[in-house]
Amino acid sequence: MRFGIAFKLGLLLASFSLVAMGTVGYYAYASGRAALLTAAQRDLLTATQVLGRNFQASIDEVAGDTLLLASLAAGNDKKLLADTFTALMAVNPQYFQIRLIGADDHGLELVRVDRDGDKLARVPAGDLQEKAHYAYVFNTLQLGRGQVYLSDITLNHEEGAHSGLHKPTVRVATPVLAGDGKVRGLVVINLDLNGLFARLKSDLPNAYQLYLSNHWGDYLIHPDPAEAFGFDKGRRIFIQEFFQPVAALIDGKSASVVTSIEGVQQATSGLVAAFVRLPYGGSVEKKFVILGLSQPLENVVRETSQLGWTTVQMILALSVMAVLLAWLVSRAVTGSLRNMVGAMSMFSKEQVIIELPSARKDEIGLLASSLNDMQNTIVANMRELNESRQTLTHLAQHDSLTGLPNRALFDDRLRQAVSQARRDQTRLALLFVDLDGFKAINDTCGHHVGDLLLSAVAKQMQACVRNVDTVGRLGGDEFVVLLTHVEGDQDALLVAGKICTALNQPFDLDGGSLVISASIGVAVYPEHGSDELTLSKSADAAMYLAKVSGGNRVRLFGQ
């Protein structure tokens, strides 16, 4: 049987149309998938970096608490110290245990408070243990005043550790020195690693999975708990064996990596993951940890998968019609496909949306409409991802309750202000504000009223300062105020007095009236500190003196 030229030409045109449409469909799918994957990797890396900064900030906060407790432990009042341990653990649920360990008697524990389920228990003297043989004890005892020891992340196998037993933990310790410089012992805080990361990860999407490894690559946190701490179970499970690009972080060749893994076990659609290398421990040891987040690849490319199937269906339908109507549609198909390829190329390279003609009632119109929808969907997804990244950045820098700058953002502003004052040879003041009796209000009125009071206190403090000044919240009932361009001590004391008076007024909250006071410590740059750390210690010390003097007063450092 011989076929006529019309049939052959029609078949040839139909074949060309099929190839062209398949190319466009595949290119549109691949371009959209690549654009979504790139955006997802970028935002996942941003989330990982924010989470890493929050982790390091949390470790710094624990170190600060340890130094504060060490200064209190220099006295001999064990009951006061135990009460302080208990109060600190009550506001920090991620603390498993706080102890004072003596330098004598084989490292005998002197004061110890454990978390036991929902309770806080002071361990009686008869159950206190000797700890001199543990590395965190003898290593800490070799440190000087103000130095902090950070242990490796391990499972806690110390018997009698209550809730912390066999749980991932970090020990943060600092020596306790007497007035003559002799080491009397050490204060150590056992930090709940899983609890800390659960709190830090609470604002991230549920689909994100967390990974943490030590500097060797051993898993410390894994979505499957059975994979974590393999070295403690007699086997080594390394993160670089599964996520091969992480080897560059372990070798120190890179500070961050992003990767996509297709068809991995237990996730047939694959994973998108981002990892960062974070310094951990002392500067001499130069240790680090690897922190990572991942999400299923299916979540990222779900829209493009639907588009791919829709494109295949349209191509099949158009190929059938092309055999019968090739002579009518050949020129129109060629011109329309060229426009689509150009639009997809422009969108892939510059993310510029070119509206394709979708008014036609044929297959080309359906394809153009689908591609328009795809472009709009991709742009909407990218916009949503950017908004999520901005939200994560804001949450990382502001207190979620009061909206004030948190410790990380406030420290950054203080650092900039000190640098500016040093250049301009001006003065600034730092105020540490601690509410008197806030814990009693929380206990009697409830945390809801306590939160309302903290928000009202934040607004009252902001009303007492200038727009150029900064009010921040360090956590709990502790606030800080940065006053720039002050003329002298009296200016800072005047503002501090204004805040003290304002906070001593009744607050109408939840149908009731509450009265609270504040202890305020004031330090002025450069008289009380030539850098932000010294200035902060001076303000904190002044606040502590105001507190122990009865509260509801302002104290200038050195007076």
| DSSP string covering 128-152 | --B-TTSHHHHHHTTS-TT--EEPP
Structure tokens at 87: 């109060």
Q: What is the pLDDT of residue 5?
A: 46
Please give the distance of CA 205 from its chain centroid, rounded to a whole number: 13
Q: What angle do CA 394, 446, 85 make, to 5 degrees?
A: 80
Determine the Cα–Cα distance for residues 197 and 269; give it in Å rounded to an integer.
Answer: 26
What are the structural domain ranges in the chain?
A: 5-38+303-396, 407-556
pLDDT digits (tens, 9 = 90+) for 360-373: 666 777 777 777 77
Determine the Cα–Cα distance for residues 276 and 292; give it in Å rounded to an integer.
Answer: 6
Terminal-residue alpha carbon distance, the chain: 112
Residues facing residue 518 across a β-bridge? 435
* R_g over Cα of the chain: 31
The mean of the pLDDT values for the chain is 85
Are 406 and 399 in contact by the 8 Å Cβ rule? The answer is yes
Q: What is the pLDDT of residue 370?
A: 76
Which residue in 477, 489, 531, 540 is the catalytic one? 477
pLDDT digits (tens, 9 = 90+) for 287-327: 899 999 999 888 777 766 666 677 777 777 766 676 566 65
Distances (CA, A) of 140 to 87, 131, 279, 537: 24, 12, 19, 22
C-alpha dihedral (504, 506, 512, 514), degrees to nearest 10: 10
- Residue 236's closest CA among 266, 216, 261, 265? 216
Q: What is the pLDDT of residue 4?
A: 47
Determine the Cα–Cα distance for residues 477 and 451; give it in Å rounded to an integer.
Answer: 10
Q: Are strands 256-261 and 271-279 parallel, antiparallel or unpaired?
A: antiparallel
Are 172 and 150 in contact by the 8 Å Cβ rule? The answer is yes
DSSP code, position 352: -
Residues in the chain where the model's pLDDT stays below 50: 4-6, 264-267, 284
Q: Residues in the chain, how many?
A: 559
Structure tokens at 282: 């002392």
3-state class of 154 per DSSP? strand
Are 186 and 212 in contact by the 8 Å Cβ rule? The answer is no
Determine the Cα–Cα distance for residues 269 and 504; give it in Å rounded to an integer.
Answer: 60
Place of tokens 């290593």: 139
Q: Is 152 a catalytic residue?
A: no
Are 364 and 332 in contact by the 8 Å Cβ rule? The answer is yes
Q: What is the pLDDT of residue 266?
A: 45
Q: What angle do CA 226, 159, 138 make, to 5 degrees?
A: 100
Q: What angle do CA 488, 490, 496 make, to 5 degrees?
A: 115
Structure tokens at 325: 């109507």
Question: What's the pTM value of the predicted model, to 2 decimals?
Answer: 0.52
Is the domain spanning 407-556 CATH 3.30.70.270? The answer is yes
Determine the Cα–Cα distance for residues 450 and 448; give it in Å rounded to an integer.
Answer: 5
Residues facing residue 398 across a β-bridge? 405
Are 225 and 237 in contact by the 8 Å Cβ rule? The answer is no
DSSP code, position 4: P
